[in-house]
Chain A
Amino acid sequence: MVKRGVSGRVDRIGLRGAMSDRLLPFVVAAMSFLAALALTGNFAAGQLAVHWLGGARKLLIIEVPDPGAPVVETQPGTQKISRIAAAKRLLETSGKVIDARILSDAELAHMVKPWLGSDEGATFPIALPGVIVAHSVSPTSTIAALTKQLSAVAPKTLVESGQRWSGRLVALTNSLRACAFAVLILVALVAASVVVVTVRAGLAQRREAIEIIHGLGAQDADIARQFAARAMHLTALGGLYGALASLPALIWLGSLAAGFSESSGFPHADGALSRLWASLDILPAVFLAGPLIFTVAAALIGWAATQVTVHGWLRRLS
């Protein structure tokens, strides 16, 4: 009976028996699954950072102590207003911020709830400052100048910039992405190592057949191509299976991440369906192209690792 290889050509070396279609696709599928998670983590961290940093960099939080007290009159006859209103007016006329808004008592109570308890009562054990939320026109605006101006109308006013912690967020995101990238490299190396071990086992098992074909005048490239075709077939299958298996996990992780994203058009993503759509919004490229990417990547790893291994092994023959 004539044995045909994966391309329909004769399986000259008998690789179907030597390189099993069980172990290699299974291990590569596991690697592909892990790679999909790592790559998606990388994308998701990047996406969330973009969502978060877009607003955070320009966000200003102005805390005005004793907000209801009247401002110190600097000129006789000037109308008296509260310190917080004066601070808001100064911000609006400074040209350095937009969207200045005083947080309501309810919003303040909600904000301090984790530290001071229920927001239902109006009484707190300590006096709360008034809070103004605004966005700076430019993230590079000097906070110091604004603080000085505000202190003139409402002494001891604090200005906190989102820039301060956005830098930390960027560092955190970058370290997460670096970890994901490192995992990706590690997974690729493990997959390549598994291919090398499998191919070496195949070479050992089919040594006699290879020597015969070599003796008949087969080029090293011919022999390596047959191994590589078989390895590509098996690793591509593994890559595809792993990527497909990772899809449910990716959707689940995406839905978790969607809770942190409000720019997807699904604020807070409360419902299950909303979370699903939000997760698709966070992971579009990986979600749609994942199976294709991992199939091709696994096939390329299989091909390259096999070529190097077989050519190296054949050098031992005369």
Chain B
Amino acid sequence: MIRFFDVGLDYRHIAPPLRAQHPADATALASVSFEIEPGGFRWLTGASGAGKTSLLKLMYLALPPTTGRVELLGEDPSRLNRRRKALLRRRIGVVYQDFRLLRHLSAYDNVALPLRLAQRSERQLHADVTELLRWVGLAGRLEHRPDELSGGEQQRIAIARAVVAKPSILLADEPTGNLDDEQADRLLHLITALNRLGTTIVVATHNHGLIARYSAPVMELRAGRLVRHG
């Protein structure tokens, strides 16, 4: 379950190290309240700069809200110590817009990372990782590093890494941006399959064709405000 209670995000009130990559003069989100039930699916839309990525950052705990309260999987992150917050992050899979792969690691090691952080043995994780890489069409690219792969291939690795640990929440920021239609369909099959298994899913996208093909409630942001939910 994801709950936002009158949440605001103002980068002027965020500590400099976290603010570094963001505009310092912008109120990113204002009075955002919503609830997504466990196992729910939401499309998140809005124009560029509307606050989609900021909203996702609050959901994957990259930033704390400057006002209001966030509740994820029954926990209030602001009340958790760092160790428990890290454990909560492991239950949230994220597909970043810029992939955020580790360039010095192979495709296999990038996908295996969440399982290794969860202390899964090499023997246990091997089957899951190879199966998932085969499923996203990269079975022959296990030992390739991100720089040796195309944008679409990198995105598929990012997707595989996000879902390999079977997260309770999956957040995706423009996950189909670098995929062709066939790959985008395969990805959405995977996402809906995970959703059927109980994973709560939020997908931020500009792709209205995609939204039309997979019917689900839509959250629309405009200038940092939630103008539509349902």
- How many B residues face the partner with a CB closer than 8 A? 35
Chain B residues within an 8 Å CB radius of A212: 100-102
Q: Is the CB of A217 within 8 A of B114?
A: yes
Contact partner, A217, options B17, B90, B105, Cβ 8 Å: B90
Q: Is A209 an interface residue (CB 8 A)?
A: yes
Q: Is the CB of B62 within 8 A of A222?
A: no
Q: Is the CB of B15 within 8 A of A2?
A: no
Q: Is A216 an interface residue (CB 8 A)?
A: yes
Q: Is B83 an interface residue (CB 8 A)?
A: yes
Contact partner, B18, options A219, A221, A317, Cβ 8 Å: A317
A17 CA / B100 CA spacing, docked (Å): 19
List CB contacts (< 8 Å) of B15-50 with chain A. Answer: 15, 17-18
Q: Is B117 an interface residue (CB 8 A)?
A: yes
List CB contacts (< 8 Å) of B89-118 with chain A. Answer: 89-91, 94, 100-106, 108-109, 112-114, 116-118
A11 CA / B63 CA spacing, docked (Å): 27
Minimum C-beta distance from B113 to chain A (A): 6
Q: Is the CB of A216 within 8 A of B113?
A: yes
Chain A residues within an 8 Å CB radius of B109: 2-3, 10
Chain A residues within an 8 Å CB radius of B60: 215
B77: nearest chain-A partner, CB-CB = A318
Chain A residues within an 8 Å CB radius of B62: 215, 318
A27 CA / B145 CA spacing, docked (Å): 34
Q: Is the CB of B113 within 8 A of A1?
A: no
Chain B residues within an 8 Å CB radius of A220: 82-83, 86
Q: Is A218 an interface residue (CB 8 A)?
A: yes
Given contact pairs A10-B116, A215-B94, A318-B62, A3 touches B83 in the complex (Cβ within 8 A) = no
Q: Is the CB of A10 within 8 A of B105?
A: yes
Q: Is the CB of B104 within 8 A of A2?
A: no
Q: Is B143 an interface residue (CB 8 A)?
A: yes
Q: Is A316 an interface residue (CB 8 A)?
A: yes
Q: Is B227 an interface residue (CB 8 A)?
A: no
Q: Mark A283-318, 1 if CB is under 8 A from B, else 0.
A: 000000000000000000000000000000000111
Q: Is the CB of B143 within 8 A of A14?
A: no
- How many A residues face the partner with a CB closer than 8 A? 24
Chain A residues within an 8 Å CB radius of B216: none
A89 CA / B147 CA spacing, docked (Å): 98
Q: Is B87 an interface residue (CB 8 A)?
A: yes
Q: Which interface residue of A11, A17, A217 has the most chain B CB atoms within 10 A?
A: A217
Given contact pairs A216-B89, A217-B89, A317-B17, A222 touches B102 in the complex (Cβ within 8 A) = no
Minimum C-beta distance from B146 to chain A (A): 12
Q: Is A12 an interface residue (CB 8 A)?
A: yes
List CB contacts (< 8 Å) of B56-97 with chain A. Answer: 60-64, 82-83, 86-91, 94
Q: Is the CB of B89 within 8 A of A12?
A: no
Q: Is the CB of A12 within 8 A of B108?
A: no
Q: Is A34 an interface residue (CB 8 A)?
A: no
Q: Mark A181-222, 1 if CB is under 8 A from B, else 0.
A: 000000000000000000000000000110011111111111
Residues of B within 8 A of A (CB): 15, 17-18, 60-64, 82-83, 86-91, 94, 100-106, 108-109, 112-114, 116-118, 143, 145, 161
Beyond A12-B116, A214-B86, 5 additional contacts (C-beta under 8 Å) are A2-B109, A14-B102, A209-B102, A217-B88, A219-B83
Q: What are 17 pairs between A and B in contact, CB < 8 Å?
A: A1-B143, A2-B106, A10-B116, A12-B113, A14-B103, A14-B105, A209-B104, A213-B117, A215-B60, A215-B89, A216-B89, A217-B117, A218-B86, A219-B83, A220-B86, A316-B17, A318-B64
Residues of A within 8 A of B (CB): 1-3, 10-12, 14, 17, 208-209, 212-222, 316-318
- Closest 9 interchain pairs by CB? A217-B90, A14-B104, A217-B89, A316-B17, A219-B86, A212-B100, A217-B86, A218-B117, A216-B114
